[in-house]
């Protein structure tokens, strides 16, 4: 079961310019910038009520964000939902026939374990599951 929309990911060409644009749009500044080296992205987060906007800029040619922008231009890249138990949700969704892009949860930005679902199994929408990393 999904708990709530956690954030909306937006692919941008230039994070610095997009940060300024979204600060003007939302009326507040981003609260963090974080590089996710394994994903070749630089991210920036804005808190908007209970949810967040995540801006993503690709940092290398291999970056999925660069490839996305080449194909589709800037825009909404994914919707992330918070789940309480990511491994249980991955099992449930796989059993329902959804295609998982990750075999195991991986570390994402903002202290999360994440997993993506292939958009071909979700009406063209890239879905991210995320679970807060709880320090034991």
Binding site residues, Zn ion, CB under 5 A: 9, 54, 80, 128
- Pull the structure tokens for residue 63: 């970056």
Give strand ranges (E) for the chain. Answer: 4-11, 32-36, 41-48, 51-58, 75-82, 106-108, 112-117, 127-132
Query: What's the rounded Cα separation, in Å, for the pair 45 and 43?
Result: 7
Shortest Å distance, C-beta 134 to Zn ion: 19
Nearer to Zn ion, 82 or 128 (CB): 128
Shortest Å distance, C-beta 108 to Zn ion: 6
Shortest Å distance, C-beta 127 to Zn ion: 10
Nearer to Zn ion, 80 or 127 (CB): 80
Nearer to Zn ion, 10 or 16 (CB): 10
Residue nearest to Zn ion (CB): 9
In terms of DSSP bridges, do strands 51-58 and 4-11 run parallel, antiparallel, or are they unpaired? parallel
Shortest Å distance, C-beta 8 to Zn ion: 8
65: β partners: none
């Amino acid at each position: 079961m999904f708990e709530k929309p956690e954030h909306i990911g937006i692919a941008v060409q230039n994070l610095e310019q997009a940060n300024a644009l979204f600060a003007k749009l939302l009326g507040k500044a981003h609260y963090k910038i974080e590089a996710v080296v394994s994903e070749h992205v630089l991210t920036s987060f804005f808190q908007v009520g209970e949810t967040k906007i995540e801006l993503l800029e690709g940092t290398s040619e291999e970056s999925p964000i660069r490839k996305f922008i080449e194909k589709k231009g800037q825009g909404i890249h994914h919707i992330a939902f918070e789940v309480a138990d990511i491994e249980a949700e991955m099992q449930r969704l796989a059993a329902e026939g959804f295609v998982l892009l990750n075999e195991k949860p991986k570390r994402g930005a903002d202290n999360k374990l994440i997993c993506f679902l292939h958009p071909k199994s979700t009406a063209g929408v890239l879905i991210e599951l995320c679970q807060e990393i709880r320090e034991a």
